[in-house]
């Protein structure tokens, strides 16, 4: 990232909707660490930091990893945006997680960066970034007089049906890393995805390319992001699929494959939260 800190190119998403037992996030996080995930994407809002933290502590205690091998991302929820509350949000999350620091702390929904800078200065988080910011909002932050730390990344929805090429170009030009959430098209997510949406993981082009390398459409979707310089966050609570999703480091897509995948983009958004749509800073009204 632009502050010199390193971020693993593939992250394990810990969020699951409320109807899924929270205990599964603990088991899934353990499996994820066992199969090789070192980047864990969490948030206060996901209400499972206790379980995720327990899984992390177990894997540290049994010698699978050391704290410094792991990269934990947390997120500041909008109700905590004042200077004091932001610090409280991190310290509470750290306590729940049983960790001393977070590697990356993101503003979950577009608002102010000042409170985040304070958390970095206090040593509670190593890097700061933003999430769900559109170009205008990102530009506003980058041009802010007296900006102390540039956001290291912008975490937004991205996958082959929403490749965010314009945002990626903008981010690269400003040395801000793009982190893709729902990198598998939020597959069959019953909570926030319209069930008539096209299924990314059943895309014939991804399947065809996958056949060449003996890989699944999910592997191709993840590898695509890594090769274009994007960090991919994928969630699964199923041990076989967690393993499958990590098998993306033993093959390389050709420039033609990458172009073909660029060609299936349809600017399709799976994760829309209409609840926020009336807010003046709702990010999705702009083109990107």
Ligand X SMILES: NC(=O)c1ccc[n+]([C@@H]2O[C@H](COP(=O)([O-])OP(=O)(O)OC[C@H]3O[C@@H](n4cnc5c(N)ncnc54)[C@H](OP(=O)(O)O)[C@@H]3O)[C@@H](O)[C@H]2O)c1
**Active-site residue list:** 46
Contact stretch for ligand X (CB under 6 A) within 92-100, 241-249, 258-266, 277-285? 241-249
Q: Give the number of C-alpha atoms closer than 13 A to the C-alpha of residue 65, restricted to the C-beta side.
A: 22
Is residue 15 a contact residue for ligand X (CB under 6 A)? yes
Shortest Cβ 35–ligand X spacing (Å): 12
Report the C-alpha gap between 136 and 116 in whole angstroms.
19
Choose between 62 and 286: whose C-beta lies nearer to ligand X.
286
Q: Does 182 bind ligand X (CB under 6 A)?
A: yes
Interaction pattern, residues 153-172, with ligand X; x per rule: CB under 6 A: --x-----------------
13 contacts ligand X (rule: CB under 6 A):
yes
Distances (CA, A) of 20 to 14, 46, 189, 283: 12, 12, 11, 28
User: How is residue 4 annotated by DSSP?
Assistant: S
- Shortest CA distance to 281 belongs to which of 103, 28, 79, 112? 112
Contact pattern from residue 29 through residue 68 relative to ligand X, giving x for each residue in contact according to CB under 6 A and a dash for the rest: ------------x---------------------------
**Alpha helices in the chain, H assignment, sequence order:** 23-35, 49-61, 83-97, 114-121, 135-142, 165-173, 204-213, 217-227, 239-246, 255-262
Is the Cβ of residue 48 or residue 115 nearer to ligand X in the bound state?
Answer: 48
- Please say whether the beta carbons of 135 and 173 come within 8 A: no
Which residue stretch of 29-37, 64-72, 169-177, 232-240 sits at the interface with ligand X (rule: CB under 6 A)? 232-240
Tokens of 63: 């010698």
Q: Which range binds ligand X by CB under 6 A, 29-37, 112-120, 134-142, 177-185?
A: 177-185
Q: Which residue ranges make up the site for ligand X (CB under 6 A)?
A: 13-15, 41, 108, 131-132, 155, 181-189, 201, 216, 218, 233-238, 241, 244-245, 271
């Amino acid at each position: 990232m632009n502050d010199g800190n390193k971020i693993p190119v593939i992250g394990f998403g810990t969020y699951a909707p409320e109807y899924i037992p929270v205990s599964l996030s603990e088991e899934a996080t353990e499996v994820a660490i066992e199969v090789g995930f070192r980047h864990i994407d969490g948030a206060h809002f996901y209400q499972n930091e206790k379980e995720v933290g327990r899984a992390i502590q177990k894997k540290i205690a049994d010698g699978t990893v050391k704290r410094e091998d792991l990269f934990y991302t947390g997120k500041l929820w909008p109700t905590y945006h004042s200077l004091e509350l932001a610090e409280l949000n991190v310290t509470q999350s750290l306590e729940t997680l049983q960790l001393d620091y977070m590697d990356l702390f993101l503003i979950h929904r577009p608002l102010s960066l000042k409170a985040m800078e304070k958390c970095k200065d206090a040593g509670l988080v190593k890097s700061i970034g933003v999430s769900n910011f559109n170009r205008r909002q990102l530009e506003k932050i980058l041009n802010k007089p007296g900006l102390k730390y540039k956001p290291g990344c912008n975490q937004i929805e991205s996958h082959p049906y929403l490749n965010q090429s314009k945002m990626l170009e903008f981010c690269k030009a400003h040395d801000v890393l793009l982190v893709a959430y729902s990198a598998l098209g939020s597959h069959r997510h019953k909570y926030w995805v319209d069930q008539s949406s096209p299924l990314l993981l059943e895309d014939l082009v991804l399947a065809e390319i996958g056949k060449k390398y003996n890989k699944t459409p999910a592997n191709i979707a993840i590898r695509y992001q890594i090769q274009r310089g994007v960090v991919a966050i994928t969630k699964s609570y199923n041990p076989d699929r967690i393993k499958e999703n990590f098998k993306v480091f033993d093959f390389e897509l050709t420039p033609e494959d990458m172009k073909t995948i660029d060609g299936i983009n349809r600017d399709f958004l799976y994760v829309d939260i209409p609840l926020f749509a009336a807010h003046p800073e709702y990010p999705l009204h702009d083109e990107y």
